[in-house]
Amino acid sequence: MLCTLIRGLLAAGRSAARGARKSRRRLRPLLIAAACAAVACGVLVPAAFADPGGLTFAGCIGDLAGCTPTSPAGALDRVSAVAVDGLQVYAVSGAAVTHFTVDATGGLTFAGCIGVVAGCTPVSPVAVFYGANAVAVTADGTQLYTTTRLGLHAGAVSHFTIDATGNPTFAGCIGDLAGCTPTSPAGALDWAHGVAVTADGRQLYATSTRGNTVSHFTINAAGDLTFAGCIGDQAGCTPFSPAGALDGADTVIVTPDGRQLYASSSASGAISHFTIDAAGSLAFAGCIGALGGCTPIGGLGGAVSLAVTPDGAQLYAASYWSNAVSHFTITTAGDLVFAGCVGDMPGCNATTPKTALDGAEGVAVSPVSADLYVASITGGEVTHFKIVGAGDLAFAGCIGDLAGCTPTSPAGALDGAGAVAVSYDGANLYATSYPRNNVSHFRIAGFTSPR
């Protein structure tokens, strides 16, 4: 009965996608649920899905010679984050939020930008784009949020509404920047870095690298933010022990059920765990890492990126200084249990080439298959792992400039690769290059967009 229903959902989704691209907001959750359930059934996966996951370079867009240029040029200067929403892709840089539409093969077409680059739609205050770090889109595809760090002691979260064609419009900001709604206490968003939105689109969380906090915001029906409190070392925020667990707080991620939050901290070398109550408020539930008072493990130095599997059972952390990806199982209470690591750090399983994870920066899990991808700054490549057994990682190859990896053309497209995102249908991957000012597109073997 269930599998028969899923077949119908998949067929209906494909038909709807072919008939109207504007239906992406309704289609995406339907297809994710159907695809995940299909894997669980074990009888609906077509032959083309039998060995998914491998990457093929399909082109790039940006300023690098050999990539498709944007107009205006410079829209992707210092690009640092990328997000996929159905048939739209958004990239955040130190100059703009850039919007791309996605064709039937996953290819990107520049659709406009909003920011401080001449030729982009201007915003006020302009400082919301200086030092932009991260981006999150609500599950219904109607709201977009970015974080900004500026100077030594300033930061903000910016809000954009998204219309039916995917175009963003600036709708305001909250934080210490002049022209933004302030937080209380001030400084809660100093060097705002990571951002995450719950699946129901009602709560947002942002980390502060200098304030050493996680801030909580509620989201109203229009997508506007209201500051609801903060937790961490900043005066005026709720403290917890051990102090310092959020030093250098970077990435924040929420489990699919919206009940657990994890924040990685590069300076403390720890991952902190918080439970989320019905109102979205946070309560510290422990930490794991090298900091005294946390469950002791090494390998999280420079932990800068986190990913959770769709079932909420596994967490992966990319660590820039440790040149590794660490694997944790998540208990029913949300606690993290170290389950191993991969990379060239002693005690971890090795990759081939050995340095494939040097400068590991971005990490993403496919929403519909057992595949994980890591972007590495030092080697300039994206590495692919199969998720096997109880969530363990098996090296499956790499693509980029590093000797031993499959090269891209043009060379250099992945120099300083920092962020990576997988499309909702598992068919495409997008990666950013901070120094080359471009976004690269990869097709993922075994999957095609259901349109």
Residue 448: predicted pLDDT: 83
φ and ψ at 6, to 5 degrees?
Answer: -65, -40
pLDDT digits (tens, 9 = 90+) for 120-174: 999 899 888 777 889 999 999 999 999 998 766 689 999 999 999 999 999 999 9
Question: Average pLDDT for residues 436-444, to the nearest whole number?
Answer: 97
> pLDDT at residue 342 above 60?
yes
> pLDDT at residue 5 above 70?
no
Question: Average pLDDT for residues 271-297, to the nearest whole number?
Answer: 97
pLDDT digits (tens, 9 = 90+) for 40-98: 333 233 333 345 799 999 999 999 999 999 999 999 999 999 999 989 999 999 889 99
Number of neighbouring beta carbons within 10 Å of residue 2: 11
Number of neighbouring beta carbons within 10 Å of residue 222: 10
> pLDDT at residue 308 above 50?
yes
HEC letters along the chain = CHHHHHHHHHHHHHHHHHHCHHHHHHHHHHHHHHHHHHHHHCCCCCHHHCCCCCEEEEEEEECCCCCECCCCCCCCCCCCEEEEECCEEEEECCCEEEEEEECCCCCEEEEEEEECCECEECCCCHHHHCCEEEEEECCCCCEEEEEEECCCCCEEEEEEEECCCCCEEEEEEEECCCCCECCCCCCCCCCEEEEEECCCCCEEEEEECCCCEEEEEEECCCCCEEEEEEEECCCCCECCCCCCCCCCEEEEEECCCCCEEEEEECCCCEEEEEEECCCCCEEEEEEEECCCCCEECCCCCCEEEEEECCCCCEEEEEECCCCEEEEEEECCCCCEEEEEEEECCCCCECCCCCCCCCCEEEEEECCCCCEEEEEECCCCEEEEEEEECCCEEEEEEEEECCCCCECCCCCCCCCCEEEEEECCCCCEEEEEECCCCEEEEEEECCCCCCC
Q: What gap in Å lies between CA 177 and CA 144, rounded to an integer?
A: 19
Question: Average pLDDT for residues 351-362, to the nearest whole number?
Answer: 96
Question: Average pLDDT for residues 283-305, to the nearest whole number?
Answer: 94
Residue 410, preceding bond cis, omega within 30 degrees? yes
269: amino acid identity, one letter: G
Question: pLDDT: is 384 or 27 the higher one?
Answer: 384
The pLDDT confidence band at residue 302, using thresholds 50, 70 and 90, is confident
φ and ψ at 257, to 5 degrees?
Answer: -85, -5
Question: Average pLDDT for residues 256-275, to the nearest whole number?
Answer: 96
Residue 127: predicted pLDDT: 83
pLDDT digits (tens, 9 = 90+) for 176-201: 998 999 999 999 999 999 999 999 99
Confirm whether pTM is higher than 0.85: yes
Order of strands, edge to edge, in the sheet holding 260-265? 249-254, 260-265, 270-276, 282-289, 295-296
The lowest-confidence range among 123-132, 251-260, 271-280, 322-331 is 123-132
Give the CB-side neighbour count of residue 443, counting CA atoms within 13 A: 13
Residues contacting residue 255 through CB under 8 Å, at least 6 positions apart: 261, 308, 312, 330, 334
What dihedral do alpha carbons 387, 388, 391, 394 form, nearest 10°?
A: -60
Question: Average pLDDT for residues 200-213, to the nearest whole number?
Answer: 96
219: amino acid identity, one letter: I
The lowest-confidence range among 190-194, 272-276, 289-293, 446-450 is 446-450
Which pairs count as long-range contacts for 328-334, CB under 8 Å and 24+ apart, including other chains?
Answer: 328/271, 328/288, 329/390, 329/391, 330/255, 330/260, 333/285, 334/255, 334/259, 334/260, 334/273, 334/275, 334/285
Percent of the chain with pLDDT over 90: 79
Tokens representing 56 are 């093929």
Percent of the chain with pLDDT over 70: 88
351: amino acid identity, one letter: T
Name the CA radius of gyration of the chain, rounded: 20
Number of neighbouring beta carbons within 10 Å of residue 374: 29
The pLDDT confidence band at residue 450, using thresholds 50, 70 and 90, is low
Q: What gap in Å lies between CA 441 and CA 182, rounded to an integer?
A: 38
Question: Average pLDDT for residues 411-423, to the nearest whole number?
Answer: 97
Tokens representing 311 are 């079932």
- State the average pLDDT for the chain: 89
